[in-house]
Amino acid sequence: MDFRKSAYDALSVFLEGIIRRKCDRDNTLNILILGETAVGKSTWINAIANYLEYGSLDTAQLSNDPKWKIPLRFTISDDHLNEQTIFVGSEGTKVGESSGTFPQPYEFMWGNRKVRFIDTPGIGDSHGLPQNKIHLGNIFRYIEEHQIRNLSAIIILMKPNEKVFTPAFMYCISELFTHLPKRCAENVLFGFTGTRPFHYQIAATLTPLRQFLATLKERQNVSLEVSKDTAFCFDNEAFRFLFAALPANGITFTDDARKNYAASWGQSVKETLRFLDRVSSLSPLGTTDMISLNEARQYISVLTKPLALISDMIEIVNEEIERLLIETRDKQLALEMVVERLQATLEEYKAEKEMMGDIAAMFGAFLKKTAIMPFNDAVEKYIKLSIQQAEYMAEITRIPADIEHVKTLRDWLERYKQQKQYIEIGAEDGCTASEVKGYFQKLLNLKHCGRYIKEMFDCEKMGMEDQKKHTSSGAQSHSAGNQPSFFHGIKSWISRITG
C-alpha cells in the first residue's frame, strides 16, 4: 500500500507539472469563486470588468461605456433621499443571482493574459440543504464536463463584519471546505466585499475566521492563513455609482460624494491588480482530486439508504425462515427446500451489504486523507435549527407541504449521521482518487442491489426537479418516505416461493 501511495503521489506531481506547463502555454488564469448566497459575487464580477478596463472613475465616466457581464438591479438614493431603481443591462433582462444553479464562466483580458472567473451558485440557499447539495454537485460537474484541468486559485468571498459565525454561516464555510482537497490549501484566497466603511480592512470577521482556521489546523493539520498574501478587501459601490450617475438616470451627487466614489474606485483597482498578481504567482492546481473527492462523498450519500434497507431486508428474510421452520410437519420437505433457497438469498444479501459497507468505509478513508474537512461538523446544528423553524411553521400553517418539509429535514439529519459514521470508521488504507469510480462500478455490478444503487445515484445527479420528473414518468422515487422497488420485490419473491 505504501508503494502504491508513493507511486500515486509521484504520478500526481508529474501530471501537475504537465498541467502547469500547459496552463503557461494557454496563458489563462482559472479562478473559482465560492461564497455564501448574497455575498455580492455578481456585483464583484461586474466591477472587475470595469476596473480592468478603466484605471480611474474619471476615465470610466468619460468613456460613457460602462461594462457589465451580469444583469443586475439595485436601489440607490440621491442627496435628497429620493430612491431610484437602477438597471445594469436591459431593464427587461432577468436579474438576480448570476449563476442560478449552475456555474457560469466570465472571461476578461488582463494585459496579455486571459482571466476566467468561474462564478458558482451561492451556498446557504433559501431552499435549504437539498438545493445547497445540488449547487455544490453542479460545481464539480461543471469542472469535469468542461474539462477544466487546472485552477489557478479558489477565492472565498465573505462579508467583512461578521462578529459571530452563526450556525448558517458555519454550515456554509464548513461545507465549502469539505469539498476541497488538502492540496488546494495554498491556492485558497479570501475576498471581502463592502469594505470601504471599514477603511478597506477586514473588520469583525477576522477574529472568528482565524479561530475557525486554527481549529481546522488542529484537527486536520491543514494550514490556511488570513494574511496580506491571502486576503483581499474590495468595495464595489463605485461600480454602482458609475451606472447610477449615467445622464439617463437623472440622479445628481455632491462633489464630496463623487470624490469618495473616485477614491473607492482607485483603491478597488489597486486591490484587484494585487489579487491578480497573487493568483498569477501561484502554481496551478490540478482538479482530479477535487472531482474524485466530490464523487466519493456523493457515493457515500447514495449508499446510506440501501445499506439501511438491506438490514431491514435481512431481518425480514430471517423472520420468514423462523416462521417456516415452525410450520406443520406435513410440508416438511417442501419447506426445507424453501428455507434453503431463502438462506442462500440471505447470504447473498449479507455479502452485498458487507461489500457496500467496506467500499463506503474506503471512500470515507479517502475523504479523511484528502479533504480539508472530511465532514461538516456544522451540519447537525444547522439542520436541527432548520427543523425547529420548520416545526414552528408547520404548527401554524398545518399545510401538508410544511409538514412534509419537517419530515424531509429529519431524514436529512439521519442521512448525515450515517454518512459521518462511514467517514469516521473509514479503513486506514482507503483508496486513491483514480480508484474511486472503479470501486463504485463494482457496486453497480452487484446481483441484487446494483441497479437500485444506480437508480438512486441517477436521482442524485438529476437534482430535485429532475427527480420529480423522473418519478412521474414511472421510475422509482427514493425520497424520505419511499422504499426502492427491491424492498417490495423481495417480499413478493418470498410470497411466491412460500405460497
pTM here?
A: 0.77
Q: Give which of 16, 290, 287 is closest to 149, Cα–Cα.
A: 287
Q: Categorize the per-residue pLDDT at 383 as very low, low, confident or very high, splitting at 50, 70 and 90.
A: confident
How many angstroms separate the Cα of 209 from the Cα of each of 95, 188, 202?
Answer: 31, 14, 10
CATH number at residue 201: 3.40.50.300
Cα(196)–Cα(470) distance, rounded to whole angstroms?
A: 49
Beta strands in 36-138 (DSSP E): 72-77, 83-88, 104-110, 113-119
Looking at 259, 285, 311, which one is the last position of a domain?
A: 285
Span of 45-49, 266-270, 406-410 with lowest mean pLDDT = 406-410
Decide if 211 contacts 223 (C-beta within 8 A). no
Domain that holds residue 475: 292-498
For residues 183 and 253, state if they share a domain. Answer: yes
Residue 256 and residue 386 share a domain: no
CA-closest candidate to residue 121, choices 36, 190, 178: 36
**Alpha carbons within 13 A on the beta-carbon side of 142:** 18
357 or 94, which is more confident: 357
**Are residues 31 and 11 part of one domain?**
yes
DSSP state of 177: H
Does 209 share its domain with 65? yes
Q: Could you tell me which residues are beta bridge partners of residue 439?
A: none
Helix, strand, coil tally for the chain in percent (to 5): 60, 10, 25
Mean pLDDT of 136-141: 83
384 shares its domain with 281 = no
Segment (H or E) for 391: helix 378-397
Q: Check whether residue 271 and residue 315 sit in a common domain.
A: no
Mark whether 356 and 209 lie in a shared domain. Answer: no
Q: Which of 285, 319, 345 is the last residue of a domain?
A: 285
**Do 278 and 315 sit in the same domain of this protein?**
no
List C-alpha distances in Å: 345 to 6, 338, 448, 497.
41, 11, 9, 12
**Better-predicted residue by pLDDT, 384 or 127:** 384
Same domain for 280 and 173 = yes
Question: Using only C-alpha atoms, what is the Rg of the chain?
Answer: 27
Instruction: State whether 249 and 315 are in the same domain.
Output: no
Q: Which tens digit of pLDDT belongs to each residue from 182-219? A: 988 999 999 999 999 999 999 999 999 999 999 999 98
Phi-psi region of 25 (alpha: psi -120 to 50; beta: other; left: phi over 0): alpha
Judge if 75 and 220 occupy the same domain.
yes
Q: Mind giving me the DSSP string for 25-42?
A: HHTEEEEEEEEBTTSSHH
* Residue that is last in its domain, among 285, 311, 343: 285
Q: How many domains does the chain have?
A: 2
d(CA 167, CA 157): 18
Q: Do 322 and 230 fall into the same domain? A: no
Residue 470, pLDDT score: 36
**What pLDDT was estimated at residue 375?**
82
User: What is the arithmetic mean of pLDDT over 467-471?
Assistant: 36
| All three cell numbers of 250 | 437623472
The mean predicted confidence, pLDDT, of the chain is 81
